[in-house]
A and B are shown apart, each in its own frame.
Chain A
């Protein structure tokens, strides 16, 4: 998992059933000092993150396992709102 900042969100009215009703925040991985680590990407939000929030996300094959029924065509999921990482 990594830390990320929420840089915005995506609106997609036509999408796979598994994504219905899910917010799609725009994330950028960051390090302990909030320095960006790589390019922007989209995740499924499970913790109602808001723009500017610092979040915890899981990626790759493990991302869908965070969804309620454990599968889905996704590769990133926000699984925590970070209070502190100092």
Chain B
């Protein structure tokens, strides 16, 4: 999984039926120093996240199938955890 921050909701009125009624969130990878990296993904919401939240994002279809409870979902990015804290070992 990657560490990311939720930066915006994604609204798409014209879309594949699978995405009907499912919340999509734009997330950007969080770098160790706390800044945001370039990698930007659109994730299905798995734990009711909101803009500004720190989250864990899983990037495969199996994870989406688990969260949604369906097989063969046409999606492969899903938020699987809300992150309270990240602590790095003092090296």
Count residues on chain A whose CB falls below 8 Å from chain B CBs. Answer: 31
Which of A37, A46, A70, A79 has the most chain B CB atoms closer than 10 A to its own CB?
A79
Q: How far is the CB of B83 from chain A (nearest CB, A)?
A: 20
Interface secondary structure of A, over-half rule = mixed
Chain B 17-56, CB-CB to A under 8 Å as 1, else 0, gives 0110000101010000000001111110000000000000
Q: Please state if A2 and B14 are interface contacts (CB–CB under 8 Å).
A: no
A37 CA to B37 CA, complexed, in Å: 11
A46 CA to B72 CA, complexed, in Å: 17
Q: Please state if A81 and B18 are interface contacts (CB–CB under 8 Å).
A: no
Q: How far is the CB of B41 from chain A (nearest CB, A)?
A: 6
Q: How far is the CB of A51 from chain B (nearest CB, A)?
A: 16
Q: Please state if A80 and B12 are interface contacts (CB–CB under 8 Å).
A: yes
- Chain B residue nearest in CB terms to A83: B11
The answer to whether B10 has its CB under 8 Å from any CB of chain A is yes
The residue that A81 contacts in the complex, of B12, B28, B41, with Cβ under 8 A, is B12
Q: Which residues of B contact A2 (CB under 8 A)?
A: 40-42
Contact sample, A vs B, 11 pairs, CB 8 Å cutoff: A2-B42, A30-B40, A31-B28, A37-B39, A46-B16, A47-B16, A61-B61, A77-B74, A80-B14, A82-B10, A86-B8
